[in-house]
Amino acid sequence: MEELPHIAVVDDHQEIRQLLVRYLGQHGYAVSEAASAQEFRNQLDAGLCPHLVVLDIMMPHEDGLSLCRHLRATSSLPVIFLTAMAEDTDRIVGLELGADDYLVKPFNPRELLARIRAVLRRSNNPQAQEDNTPKTERLRFGDKIFDLTRHEVTGSDGVAVPLSTSEFRLLCVFLEHPGKVLSRDALLELTSGREADVWDRSIDNQVSRLRRKVEEDPKNPVLIKTYWGDGYCFTGKVSPA
């Protein structure tokens, strides 16, 4: 019997956890819940292996940002943040840490379901419904080797730098469209399957993080160029490695 995709819900509000356990369960997902970051850490230590985590930012003791930082240092588990409207700064920090998406409370469970499906489609996940990544397992650009299987970039010094799920998807899109200026809206659609709202700066944050991992000087990028008012363009030469 095929394993159901597993969603972990980490939120200190019991009613939200119960709502999502019931709703996501009705739509074909296995769902586990944790009332705190520590409880979720304990579950992971005990062998829990979710395909995606829905993570509240504001929780007592350890908040969602701290937990996301831990997850990014130890795994490529996709993360969708739940945030309050007033937490704009925390939302931006969460995206900079490598979260794949966010949803503002109060939220419509149907919209969260759509975000979950979009993230899983684009993640390196056994339950993914499609694979939009290049077919070659290793690509070269400049002095970097991009390993699509291991989700990491290796420089001339031989040091492998792991990529988060969102960084991996963004680099794939750039390498599939070298020399083409891609708007923020196009990049968001290609990487996350959704449209940007007027305040959405998540692509800018993702580009900034990716530059820190592939550029020699992220403040003066030569591979991922900014075209003000138009978007971004990958200028490097791409070839199989």
Domains of the chain: 6-122 (3.40.50.2300), 138-240 (1.10.10.10)
The predicted-structure confidence for 38-69, as pLDDT tens digits, reads as follows 999 999 999 999 999 999 999 999 999 999 98
- What are 174-224's pLDDT values in tens digits? 998 899 999 888 888 777 665 545 445 678 888 998 999 999 999 999 999
Quick one: pLDDT at residue 122? 72
Top-confidence residue, 227 or 189: 227
User: In this predicted model, what pLDDT tens digit does every residue of 98-128 receive, in sequence order?
Assistant: 788 888 888 899 999 988 988 888 775 444 4
The CA distance from 58 to 117, in Å, is: 24
Q: Backbone phi, then psi, for 60, in 5-degree steps?
A: -65, 160
User: Is the CB of residue 51 less than 8 Å from the CB of residue 127?
Assistant: yes
Peptide bond into 218 cis (omega under 30): no
Considering only residues 189 and 25, tell me which one the structure prediction assigns the higher pLDDT.
25
Q: Is 130 left (phi over 0), alpha (psi -120 to 50) or beta?
A: beta
Is 50 exceeded by the pLDDT of residue 148?
Answer: yes
Map residue 39 onto helix, strand or coil: helix
> For residues 136 and 99, which has the higher predicted lDDT (pLDDT)?
99
Range 1-19 average pLDDT:
88
Residues 6 or more apart whose Cβ sits within 8 Å of residue 158: none
Is the dihedral angle over the CA atoms 186, 188, 192, 194 positive or is it negative? negative
Residue 1 has pLDDT above 60, yes or no: no
Give the Cα separation of 152 and 167 in Å (integer). Answer: 10
Q: What pLDDT is attached to residue 201?
A: 65
Name the DSSP class of 136: -
Contact 6, 32 (CB under 8 A): yes
Q: Is pLDDT of 7 > 90?
A: yes
The alpha carbon of 136 is separated from its chain's Cα centroid by a whole number of angstroms, namely 22
pLDDT of 136 reads: 59
∠ CA 11-17-18 to the nearest 5 degrees?
Answer: 165
pTM attached to this predicted model: 0.58
Q: Is the pLDDT of residue 3 over 80?
A: no
Q: Is residue 91 scored above 90 in pLDDT?
A: no
Angle among Cα 212, 148, 227 to the nearest 5 degrees reads 45
132: pLDDT strictly greater than 50: no
